[in-house]
Structure 1
Amino acid sequence: MRAPVGIILAGGRATRMGGGDKGLLQLGGETLLSRVIDRISPQVADLAINANGDPARFAPYGLTVLPDSVADFPGPLAGVLAGLDWAAKQGAETVVSVAADTPFFPCDLVPRLQLAAEGKAHPMALAATPDPERGAIRHPTFGLWPVALRDDLRAALEGGLRKVVLWTDRHGAEQALFPVEGGDPFFNVNTPEDLKAAEAMA
């Protein structure tokens, strides 16, 4: 399987943080976004940021900034679609998405997502962690997405679909299970309290 391109989902409105870009918050002398870029860059063939508004605020990172192509902040699937459209122009077959507010995700995210989706006509997989009650918790902003289904996703979004797992279940997405020893690798910063916790983890 060819190396995918990557999309960093930074299009959220960060309401629990008081607004603004969570990815630009400082953690241990670096922005969350810098940490995310450092983790995902070695795993992908190219990388872009999905964000709305003035792209100039991301200029220091030197990455393409892709706005949602669907209006009214429909959520992470709109960012995935922006990444798929960008990937199609480059001739890529798959995209891996990561969240801009999740600085500790696994350094082997991409190969494990690819392994989970191996053999599927349309390779699609979501990251997951074990849960004693539910079996597994899926992390829908961390996934492998096939460019071939971008028009299907566009139609679903235009039809009002917003929940990631409703669309991935429709297409039989696999799960890549990641261990949680030593802490949740998909811990994300939603609140000021989360940022303090992340400082301790860093």
Structure 2
Amino acid sequence: MVIAGLILAGGQGRRMGGADKALLSLAGRPLIAHVAARLAPQVGGIAISANGDAGRFADLACPVLPDAPGHRGEGPLAGILAGLEWAEAQGADLLATASCDTPFLPADLVARLVAAGAPAMAASHGRQHPTAALWPVSHRAALAELFASGERRMRVALAGAAEVAFDALPDPFANINTPDDLSEAEARMRA
């Protein structure tokens, strides 16, 4: 079984002064570099889902996948579709996804999602994390049809998916949305 990985880079953080969240510095490295370091050992290869200048991710030396024309600005599900197309071209059976603002991903995220059976998504402390998920490449056509119908919600796209609980403390899916979150993550890195 071949598993590809996709980091969802998203866009600007409204509560972060409009900065590109993926490139915010955490412990001297961009947030996305922390996520890549955690996800890459768990998959056969990684790509980044992002629109705009791909050169901003050149240091990561992996493909940057823009949303398909007509899908730009339509949310993370558009990125999942681009990722599934890329994964299929790589010969992958599954696509593991993670958000660029979750630098503390579990080292066993993909293994545990695979053990649950795809599709699967992570959960922690009573909250679902649909961006931390495992998508069968064979579901690409069905997801494209769902997207074409106007659906954009990740939870709807993952309806019926296995839910895998990761209830460690601190929360491995704590994401960086505010300057306070970034300060807390810095403290967590130092600890």
TM bucket (normalised to shorter chain) is over 0.9
Contact 2:2 2:91 in 1 (8 A): no
What TM-score comes out, normalization by structure 2 length? Answer: 0.94
Aligned partner of 2:164: which letter? Answer: A
Number of the residue aligned with 2:22? 23
Runs of 4 or more off by more than 6 Å in structure 1?
Answer: none
Q: Tell me, in whole angstroms, the C-alpha distance in 1 between the residues paired with 2:48 and 2:102.
A: 14
How far has the Cα of 1:72 moved from its partner?
4.1
Structure 1 stretch 7-16 or stretch 54-63: which is displaced more? 7-16
Q: Tell me, in whole angstroms, the C-alpha distance in 1 between the residues paired with 2:139 and 2:172.
A: 28
| SS at structure 1 position matched to 2:158 | helix
Number of equivalent positions: 188
Q: Tell me, in whole angstroms, the C-alpha distance in 2 between the residues paired with 1:189 and 1:148.
A: 32
Number of the residue aligned with 2:151? 161
How far has the Cα of 1:201 moved from its partner?
1.1
Aligned partner of 2:89: which letter? Answer: K
Q: Tell me, in whole angstroms, the C-alpha distance in 2 between the residues paired with 1:89 and 1:71.
A: 20
Aligned partner of 1:184: which letter? Answer: D
| Cα deviations by residue, 1:109-149 (Å, 9 ceiling, x for unpaired) | 000000111xxxxx20000113xxxxx31101100001111
Q: Tell me, in whole angstroms, the C-alpha distance in 1 between the residues paired with 2:77 and 2:142.
A: 12
Q: Which runs of 5+ in 2 are unaligned?
A: none
Number of the residue aligned with 2:104? 104
Q: Do the aligned partners of residues 10 and 112 (structure 1) sit closer, same or farther apart at CA in structure 2, a change above 3 Å counting?
A: same
Q: Kindly, what percent of the aligned residue pairs are identical?
A: 47
| Cα deviations by residue, 1:80-114 (Å, 9 ceiling, x for unpaired) | 11110001111111100011111001000000000
Number of the residue aligned with 1:144? 134
How far has the Cα of 1:19 moved from its partner?
2.1
Contact 1:50 1:82 in 2 (8 A): yes
Structure 1 stretch 65-74 or stretch 183-192: which is displaced more? 65-74
Number of the residue aligned with 1:48? 47
Number of the residue aligned with 1:4? 3
Q: Tell me, in whole angstroms, the C-alpha distance in 1 between the residues paired with 2:36 and 2:152.
A: 26
